[in-house]
Structure 1
C-alpha cells in the first residue's frame, strides 16, 4: 500500500463482508509496519459495538461469519478491535449527524496531515524564535478584508529565513494554495523576474503555466 492515509468507513454491515475485513486487516498491518495513518469513520455505529461486536454491527457479523474462513474470523476480529481504539469520527456525534460538516472536517484534517509532510526543513531546538513568531502571528491573525504583506528586516545571518519558514509551516494548512520562494534576489539576478513569477504560478495555480503567461501578456 503506497497511500499515506487510510479512512475505513465502518458501517453497520461492514463486518458482514469478508473482503472489507481482509482490507481492514491489511490496513491495520500497514499501520504497524510503516508510517501509515488510519483515521476511521464510525458511520452510525459506536466504536464499542465494533470492539465487542454488539448491536446491529455484531449481529451482521455473526449472521455471516459461518461463510468466513477461520483465519478471516480471527484476523478480522483482531483488526476490528484495533481500529475501534483509534481516534476518528463518529457520524452521529459529529455536528448532530450533519454529514456535510463531517465530510468537510475529514477533508480539512487530511489536507492538514498531508501538508505537514511537505513542510519546510528547519533546525531542531531553535532558541529565541518563539517571541518573534508570536508577534508575527498576532499581526497575521488580525481580521482583514485585504491582502497582507509582512516584511522581516535585518542584517544577514540573524535568522530571517528561518523565521519565515517557521511562520510558513504554521500557516500553510490554512490556505488552499501556498508557496515559499527562497533566494529571490539571487534568482532574479541570475534568471530574471520571470523565473520567480513562473515558480510562483506553478506552485499556487493548478493550471498550465504557458496559458497563464499568455493571459498575463494579453492583460
Structure 2
C-alpha cells in the first residue's frame, strides 16, 4: 500500500463465488480467532477470503501504546481500498466479485472503503460493528449491507440502528439473541458465520 507492505492470508477455493476481505477491529489482527472462524465458514461455502493486517508491525507497536491508529478510520479505509484495488488488478481470485466483512471499528473502515470503491465492492457485512463511525460515507455506500449485532449489546444496537437509518443502499439489521459484543456465547458466532455466508452468496 504505497510505501508500506501489509501481511495477509489469502484462501481461494476452486471457482470461487466471490472473495471477502476482512477488516478486523481495534487492537486485533488477521489472526483474530473469531474472524478466522468466520473465514473458514465462508471458504466452506465456496467463497475466497483475505485476512490482512491493516497496520505494519512498526505501526502496531505504536498503536499498542497510544491506541491512536486503531481508530483512524480514514487510514484503515485507505488500506482496505488499496487491497480491493490489488484484488482487481492482481486477481488472486480471478474475476470473483468482492465483499467486505468488518468487525468493531473495522466495520466503519469497510463501509468507507465500500463508498470509495462503489464499482468494485458488491456487499458488506458488519459483526458487532461501529458503522456509525463511517459518518457521511454511509449515504454513499451502494453495496447491500448486513449489520449483525448481539442482542445483549444494547448500546451498539442503538448505534447500528442510527447507521441503518443513514444507509441508502439495501440494508438489514439483524440481532443475534443472547450474544454480547464479542459473540463468545455458545452458538452465537456460528450464527454470525452462517448469516454472513448466506448474505455474501446471495449478493455476490
Normalised TM-score (structure 2): 0.29
Greater relative contact order: 1 or 2 (C-alpha under 8 angstroms, separation 6 or more)?
Answer: 2
The structure with the greater share of residues assigned to helix is 1
The structure number with the bigger radius of gyration is 1
Normalised TM-score (structure 1): 0.28
